[in-house]
Amino acid sequence: MIPAIGLLVGIVVGLLLQPTVPVWLQPYLPIAVVAALDAVFGAFRSVLDGLFNDRIFVISFLSNVLVAAMIVFLGDQLGVGSQMSTGVVVVLTMRIFANVAAIRRHLLKA
Amino acid sequence: MGMHSAPRRGRPVRTAAEARFRLKRSLTPQRNGTQVMITVLFILLGFTLTAAITGSANDAVLANARQSDLVGLLDDLAQREARLDSENTRLEAARETLLGGDEYAALNEAKRRADALGVLAGTETIIGSGITITIAGNLTATTLLDAMQELRDAGASAIQISDRGLSVRVVGNTWFADSASGVTVSGTALQVPITISVIGDPTVLRPAIEIPGGLVDTVGSGGGEVTIEESQNVDISAIVPLPKS
């Protein structure tokens, strides 16, 4: 519950402050957000699988974000930044879909 | 957790009810270190989410544009800059002469500008080189409007539309509507065949209405006929009455 409120607080603060993203961060932010969402859906799934562990969640959240950003950074250095971000987004989206499907199966048995 | 049994860790849920229970339990407040950490992470997630969304909304158009589009945009800007530059030089020169205190030059400049504006606003008659387009057969207001755009794009400085008896000057606020026996232009009903007189460079104006999909094409496919005549003295005599101020 508290994390959910935290999410809301973050969104409200973001809407109120209208932060401008620094240019150097712009390519990585969307990827990092998608990676974080993947971690969140993964966490919900593991709650239902009975495997949830908050320590693992925190570590997977952070490492997801860092690895995703790092891959895109590497892609930028190699000159294939946009393809790399597309690849990362595709993979993460597939994982999100898989996790949501698992959650749905648990919740609705369908 | 009260009456519910102790958390059964390490195995997947068996029923939907148990799944809902676990979800609910995972959402009930617990106070420990990692919970705080998770909350901080979620605050950050919400914040970055909105930041990423508002950030991408600003210049998504340019960021997602293809390279050729960007080159086109850049070309456009460069051309506009060149145009504005030459306009700037012209205006500077005009300013110089005006500041020079030569009343005659000032008068001339004012007159020249009044003439130019009069032609654009349709309050001056004008005779000059251009083309005369005669259209017989079916004609819709849309076709006519498209033709006007094409002519304007081709640098037409004055346009007049007339039938056997009436003529109408085409200016910025001229409108076109379909009518039973032709088109209505700014309230004047014109019968086909109609004649469009255009002042401008004939070598540019003619291709503008002969291009595929242009006026000649459209009217031709509707069974009508278009004839174009180039002339050194196209006479545009219709004027737009000056509004009473």
The residue extents of the domains of chain A are 23-108
Question: Does A51 sit within 8 Å of B48, measured CB to CB?
Answer: no
Question: Does B22 sit within 8 Å of A48, measured CB to CB?
Answer: yes
Q: What is the pLDDT of residue B217?
A: 84
Lowest-pLDDT range of A33-47, B56-70, B133-147: B56-70
Q: What is the pLDDT of residue B131?
A: 92
Is residue B60's pLDDT more than 60?
Answer: no
Q: Which of B12, B42, B51 sits opposite A6 (nearest CB)?
A: B42
Q: Which of A29, A44, A62 sits opposite B55 (nearest CB)?
A: A29
Instruction: For chain A, give the number of residues.
Output: 110
Is residue B34's pLDDT more than 80?
Answer: no
Q: What is the pLDDT of residue B29?
A: 63
- In the block, tokens 């974000």 appear at A65
Contacts of B1 (CB under 8 A, 6+ apart): B7, B25
Q: What is the pLDDT of residue B72?
A: 86
Sheet holding B182-185: strands in order across?
Answer: B176-179, B182-185, B188-191
Q: What is the pLDDT of residue B10?
A: 63
Residue A80: helix, strand or coil by DSSP? coil
* Chain B interface residues (partner A, CB cutoff 8 A): 8-13, 15-16, 19-20, 22-23, 26-29, 32, 34-35, 37-52, 54-56
CB B157 within 8 A of CB B166: no
Tell me the pLDDT band of B86, cut-offs 50, 70 and 90. very high
CB B205 within 8 A of CB B154: yes
Tell me the pLDDT band of B197, cut-offs 50, 70 and 90. very high
**Residue A30, preceding peptide bond in cis (omega within 30° of 0):** no
Side chain identity, residue B190: L
Compute CA distances B113 → B90, B118, B131, B216, whole Å.
13, 8, 25, 35
Question: Does A62 sit within 8 Å of B45, measured CB to CB?
Answer: no
More confident residue, A6 or B1: A6
Closest chain A residue to B28, measured at CA: A1
A47, two tokens? 């709650």
Predicted TM-score of the model (pTM): 0.46
**In this predicted model, what pLDDT tens digit does every residue of B132-155 receive, in sequence order?**
999 888 788 888 888 888 888 888
Question: Does A50 sit within 8 Å of B13, measured CB to CB?
Answer: yes
Is residue B3's pLDDT more than 70?
Answer: no
Per-chain mean pLDDT for chain B:
81
Q: What is the pLDDT of residue B85?
A: 94
Is residue A47's pLDDT more than 60?
Answer: yes
**In this predicted model, what pLDDT tens digit does every residue of A65-99 receive, in sequence order?**
999 988 988 888 888 878 888 889 999 999 999 99
Which residues from chain A sit within 8 angstroms of residue B65, using beta carbons? none
Is residue B111's pLDDT more than 70?
Answer: yes
* Chain A interface residues (partner B, CB cutoff 8 A): 1-15, 18-21, 26, 29-30, 32-33, 36-37, 40, 44, 47-52, 54-55, 57-58, 61-62, 106-109
